[in-house]
Amino acid sequence: MTFHQKDVDVLISEEKLHARIKELGAAITRDYQGKELTLVCVLKGSVFFATDLARAIDLPLTLEFLGVSSYQGGTESTGEVRITTDVSKPMAGKHLLVIEDIIDTGLTMSFLMENLAARHPASLKLCSLLEKPARARTQVNIDYKGFVIDDHFVVGYGLDYGEKYRNINFIGVWKGK
Residues forming the site for ligand 5GP (CB under 6 A) = 45, 70-71, 77, 100-109, 153-155, 159-161
Give the span between the Cα atoms of 91 and 62, in whole angstroms: 12
**Which position among 52, 101, 104, 160 bears the catalytic label?**
104
Give the span between the Cα atoms of 149 and 130, in whole angstroms: 7
Nearest to 120 by CA among 95, 97, 99: 95
The residues facing 154 across adjacent strands are: 173
Task: Indicate if 31 belongs to the active site.
Answer: no
Which one, 48 or 161, has the nearer CB to ligand 5GP? Answer: 161
Calculate the CA dihedral of residues 21, 23, 19, 71 and round it to 10 degrees: 30
8 with 166: CB under 8 angstroms?
Answer: no
Which one, 35 or 153, has the nearer CB to ligand 5GP? Answer: 153
Which one, 3 or 36, has the nearer CB to ligand 5GP? Answer: 3
Q: How far is the CB of 35 from ligand 5GP (least distance, A)?
A: 26
Q: How far is the CB of 70 from ligand 5GP (least distance, A)?
A: 5
Residues classed as catalytic: 104
